[in-house]
């Protein structure tokens, strides 16, 4: 499963019709229609009907569907909806074992939420599963299970977050950072996005429209970064044309791995531009 990028992945409560309609216009790289935590038990049936209608429409981005867990009374009907409506992928909460994924019908890519201590410890096995497209960190539940205290830099959770990234990257999956709960704290959100990108996450799951563009910016490639990548590649290509095995750029040594990284960055930059054109 491919996308222009995964900088911002917006959770949308499936029982909120206005939010479902607005989500297509916000510029998120992907959307998760949420049947789980965001929907009260008495609204589950109506939410499924709205999801079916929403998935029948055209979207400018991938649309994932978060199901209720297999041990809930709503899981079977959620699965039936997924099979009938055909989302871009299915998100499963609290995945703790790859065997759980073996029992799922359908052929959609699976996105495993890693939000328990056991899930973190088994993240490499889960990421290795053939149907998994990505791992999504769920730090609200994880912090509760670990009995941690809130910390502005998420220090009690850093090891778990890094393990999720390591597991995903080792198996070529997409690692997505957890949500930031305070939708009025723009500075705090930007700081956590930067931390997530530094840790290696591909993007951030978000819960409010105001967080979409900030996540796109923090996890995206800037014009300056693209210009530097082009200049580095020019220096590398000039050195190779002269028969040299290495180059220097900005006083630093440049080898093949740096050139490859610059090319990857420019590919991401090009995909971003395509995404902007798709929603403009």
Mean pLDDT of 147-170: 97
Cα 152 to Cα 143, 145, 180, 212, distances in angstroms: 13, 18, 11, 21
Q: What is the pLDDT of residues 229-246, one digit of tens each?
A: 999 999 999 999 999 999
Q: What is the mean pLDDT of the chain?
A: 94
CA 50 to mean position of chain CA atoms: 23
| pLDDT over threshold 80, residue 280 | no
Q: Is the pLDDT of residue 277 over 60?
A: no
| Averaged pLDDT, 174-194 | 97
Q: For position 278, what pLDDT does the model report?
A: 53
Single out the residue of 254, 225, 261 nearest to residue 237, CA to CA.
Answer: 254
CB 103 within 8 A of CB 121: no
Closest CA to 203 of 171, 173, 226, 170: 173
What digits encode the pLDDT tens for the residues 28-66? 999 999 999 999 999 999 999 999 999 999 999 999 999
pLDDT for 197: 97
pLDDT digits (tens, 9 = 90+) for 161-175: 999 999 999 999 999
> pLDDT-derived band of residue 106, with 50, 70 and 90 as boundaries?
confident
Task: Pick 273 or 218 by higher pLDDT.
Answer: 218
Please tell me the pTM assigned to this model.
Answer: 0.91
What band does 3 get if pLDDT is binned at 50, 70 and 90?
very low
Give pLDDT, residue 181.
96
């Amino acid at each position: 499963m491919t996308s222009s990028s995964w900088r911002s992945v917006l959770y949308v409560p499936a029982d909120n019709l206005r939010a479902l309609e607005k989500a297509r216009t916000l510029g998120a790289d992907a959307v998760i229609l949420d049947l789980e935590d965001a929907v009260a038990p008495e609204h589950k049936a109506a939410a499924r009907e709205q999801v079916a209608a929403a998935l029948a429409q055209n979207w400018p981005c991938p649309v994932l569907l978060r199901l209720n867990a297999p041990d809930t009374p709503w899981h079977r009907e959620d699965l039936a909806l997924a099979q009938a409506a055909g989302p871009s992928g299915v998100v499963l909460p609290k995945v703790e074992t790859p065997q759980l994924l073996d029992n799922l019908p359908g052929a959609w890519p699976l996105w495993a939420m890693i939000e328990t201590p056991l899930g973190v410890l088994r993240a490499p096995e889960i990421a290795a599963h053939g149907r998994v497209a990505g791992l999504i960190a769920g730090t609200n539940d994880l912090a509760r299970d670990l009995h941690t205290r809130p910390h502005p830099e998420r220090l009690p959770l850093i090891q778990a977050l890094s393990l999720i990234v390591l597991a995903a990257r080792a198996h070529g999956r997409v690692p997505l950072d957890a949500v930031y709960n305070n939708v009025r704290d723009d500075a705090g959100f930007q700081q956590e996005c930067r931390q997530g990108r530094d840790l290696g996450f591909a993007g951030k799951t978000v819960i409010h429209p105001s967080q979409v563009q900030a996540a796109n910016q923090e996890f995206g490639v800037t014009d300056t970064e693209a210009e530097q990548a082009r200049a580095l590649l020019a220096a590398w290509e000039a050195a190779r044309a002269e028969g040299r095995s290495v180059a220097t750029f900005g006083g630093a040594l440049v080898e093949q791995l740096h050139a490859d990284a610059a090319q990857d960055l420019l590919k991401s930059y090009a995909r971003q531009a395509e995404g902007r054109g798709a929603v403009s």
